Chain A
């Protein structure tokens, strides 16, 4: 069974930065697209970003474009989300999610981690 374990969340002040990590195991990490989805308190799911299996294609939600960067390290089977210039509206649980195949273009999550809480507040 796929295992995805997020870390790196926490409390940060507006304008600050955080780097989320997602350790992947029990599947061939290098052959699947990966992504991040977030959920603000009491709200629905929001797609954040996707990266292809090779790392050469990335997509971002308009709300995070220019502030967040998705990346992956195949040697460590780990997905990252670098979050800069954080705002109060970025407060959410961030889920790491495995794609169904290698493509970022047709990405949809088929397995999810348990999420990590990010709180942006002064």
Chain B
């Protein structure tokens, strides 16, 4: 079975572009989805099916996928964007299962 790998942390200054990556073998064949989780709160979907943005999510959030890597980009990151970000996909290599990446802690300061 495959895993999704994320860097543990990313730090940017306000207004800079933050890029959070997710790599794994399922990704060439499966969509990636991204979740934001702020401290003590439930996760929120910020990007689905690689690059689609749910209603209510700011335009500064965007996503892409190429080969074995998916990328979440926050253009002009704001202090309120701080939190943990998780990628998610489906792995059907051996048996069908959902897979989350390990999470990336974004610091904006």
A-side residues, CB < 8 A to B, are: 35, 37, 44-47, 50, 59-62, 95, 100, 105-115
Question: Do residues B100 and A47 form an inter-chain contact, with CB atoms below 8 A?
Answer: yes
Distance, CA A59 to CA B42, complexed state (A): 22
- Number of chain B residues whose Cβ lies closer than 8 Å to a Cβ of chain A: 24
Instruction: Encode contact with A along B70-106: 1 for CB under 8 Å, 0 otherwise.
Output: 0000000000000010101010000111111111000
Find residues 24-38 in chain B having any chain A CB closer than 8 Å to their own CB: 31, 33, 35, 37
User: Residue A44 contacts which of B54, B97, B100 (CB distance < 8 angstroms)?
Assistant: B100
Distance between B21 CB and nearest chain A CB, rounded to angstroms: 16
Contacts A/B (CB < 8 Å), 9 sampled: A35-B98, A44-B102, A45-B103, A47-B97, A62-B1, A105-B90, A105-B96, A107-B90, A108-B88
Distance, CA A59 to CA B92, complexed state (A): 11
A112 surroundings in chain B (CB, below 8 A): 42-44
B31 surroundings in chain A (CB, below 8 A): 108
Best-surrounded residue of A35, A45, A114 (most CB of chain B within 10 A): A45
Residue of A nearest to B104 (CB): A44
A-B contact count (CB 8 A): 62
Question: Do residues B97 and A109 form an inter-chain contact, with CB atoms below 8 A?
Answer: no
Distance between B48 CB and nearest chain A CB, rounded to angstroms: 6
Asked if B10 is at the interface (CB within 8 A of a chain A CB), the reply is: no
User: Residue B98 contacts which of A95, A108, A111, A113 (CB distance < 8 angstroms)?
Assistant: A108
User: Residue A61 contacts which of B37, B97, B101, B103 (CB distance < 8 angstroms)?
Assistant: B97
A106 surroundings in chain B (CB, below 8 A): 90
Question: Do residues A62 and B97 form an inter-chain contact, with CB atoms below 8 A?
Answer: yes
Question: Do residues A114 and B42 form an inter-chain contact, with CB atoms below 8 A?
Answer: yes
Distance, CA A35 to CA B54, complexed state (A): 19
Residue of B nearest to A60 (CB): B97
Question: Do residues A107 and B98 form an inter-chain contact, with CB atoms below 8 A?
Answer: yes
Given contacts A44-B84, A47-B97, 14 further A-B pairs with CB under 8 A are A37-B100, A44-B100, A44-B103, A47-B98, A59-B97, A61-B98, A62-B97, A100-B48, A106-B90, A107-B90, A108-B48, A109-B45, A109-B88, A114-B42
